[in-house]
Every structure is written in structure tokens, then in C-alpha cells.
Amino acid sequence: MTKKATAGAQAQVSGVLGIDIGGSGIKGAPVDLRTGTLLAERVRIPTPEGARPEDVTAVVAELAGVFPDTSGPIGVTFPGIVRGGVTLSAANVDKGWIGLDADDRFSRAVGRPVTLLNDADAAGLAEARFGAGAGVPGVVMMLTFGTGIGSALMYNGVLVPNTELGHIELNGREVEPWASGAAKDREDLSWKQWAKRATEYLEYLERLFSPDLFIIGGGLSKKADKWQEYLKVKTPVKPAGLQNEAGIVGAALMASERRG
């Protein structure tokens, strides 16, 4: 356990625990679902190399033990398709996740009910309830630009899960390796060059979904001042309000609503 995790274990807190599984780190914190705020400093443990199910499960169990005063259900995000608690894709993690009943695996490991959902879906739910999409009616679409491109689609706050719109094809190529934050870094694109690609992508989504709002999350949301002036689409665009906490908050929110 890291020094940060040790410090978090000493905090006496309550709330619903949310855990966000990422490519480089697995983060957790208890959440006050009245306000969408974290009740303690989030704890981050590096994602085990290879992200095998047994190794990630051990980290989730460790994080659950960091906050002994939380009780009830735990929400956990996953970077892939999740249906009925079963993980159905594994683009950036070990292939052993495909077809795995991860809800059951995590629940047995922590001794409490666990609800699993897609990581971008979790972030979108949090933003719709507490962040940039709060109070916005109609179709709200969140896109997370980071290592990949995640997506969440909501209508009047109700989630349409597992859209995975970063993997659609545009002009004969998959969008994610072309317009993600990682693509910007890999090709050393300027903000204007990246925003031109993002604009083309968002314009395509506008034609498909006619959204009322785009929310831009992921690592690039923290640098909105660098790209907002170059992103030219008809739909209003807002950077994510909760930034790196959105996945944790959304996971806790889904766990509370699904398990009660």
C-alpha cells in the first residue's frame, strides 16, 4: 500500500465507495451523493502491469479496506463494455476479462455487493448529475479524450450504456487512435491541429445524434483554455466539471441506485 493509501486508511469517513480502474492507476474514495463531492482524499494505487483480473481484483480489495467506515454497495468502473456485471471487451487490459462475471469476482473479494459499469458511462452519469450537464435536458454526450476516447450518452439524465463511440470509423479509419489525447502526444500535434480532428469527429456525432450538449472529459478537460477556441461545432461544448473525480463519483452513484 502506498503512503497515500496508508494516510487514507486513517481517515474515519462514511459514504458510498467509488473505485475507478484506469490504465495507469486505480483510484477510490467515498462519495457524498447529495453533493457529488469526495468525503476523503482519493487514494491511488498503480494498476498492476498487464491488468490481469486476479491482480486488479487484489487492488480493488485493498482500496475497499482503506476506508473501513464505508458500508453497503461499492461502485467500480471498467475500461470496456460491461453488461449485467460481465465484462465483454478488453481493449487496454488483459484478455482474461472477456466474458468474466466481474461483479461476482469483486463482490466475493471485498465481501460486499459490487456494481460494475463502463468508465466513461460512470463519468457521464456524474457530470449529468453534478457537473457540466447538471440541469441540461435532452441529449447530453460526454467524450473522454485521454489514452483512448470514451463516450457516454444520456437522455434527460438516463444513461444509454456502452456506446463506445471512440471506436466508430470516420473516413475509413477508427477515430480513437486518430483523435485521442494519446494521438496528440504521439504525433506532436498542436492544439489547433488536434482540435481540427476533434471538430471533424464531433460534427459526425452531431449528424448521428443531434445532441444538446457535448461534455469533454479525460485528461484534456484540464486544458480547455488551450483548445476551446479552435473547436468549431454547432452544439454547445463544455469541459467536464468534475475532471478526474467523475469516474469515482459516477461509480458510487450507480452502485447506490442499483443496489439501494
* pLDDT tens digits along 76-127: 999 999 999 999 998 778 999 999 999 999 999 999 999 999 999 999 999 9
Largest CA distance in the chain: 53
Query: Which of 70, 57, 39 is closest to 249 using CA atoms?
Result: 39
* pLDDT tens digits along 145-190: 988 899 999 999 999 999 999 999 999 999 999 999 999 999 999 9
Q: Which residues contact 49 (CB under 8 A, 6 or more apart)?
A: none
**Beta carbons of 168 and 179 less than 8 angstroms apart:** no
As a whole number, mean pLDDT of residues 54-74 equals 91
Percent of the chain with pLDDT over 90: 84
Helix 53-66 / helix 102-110 crossing angle, nearest 10 deg? 40
Q: Which residues contact 170 (CB under 8 A, 6 or more apart)?
A: 178, 200, 201, 204
Give the β-pairing of 74-78 and 16-21: parallel
Domains of the chain: 3-121+245-259 (3.30.420.40), 132-241 (3.30.420.40)
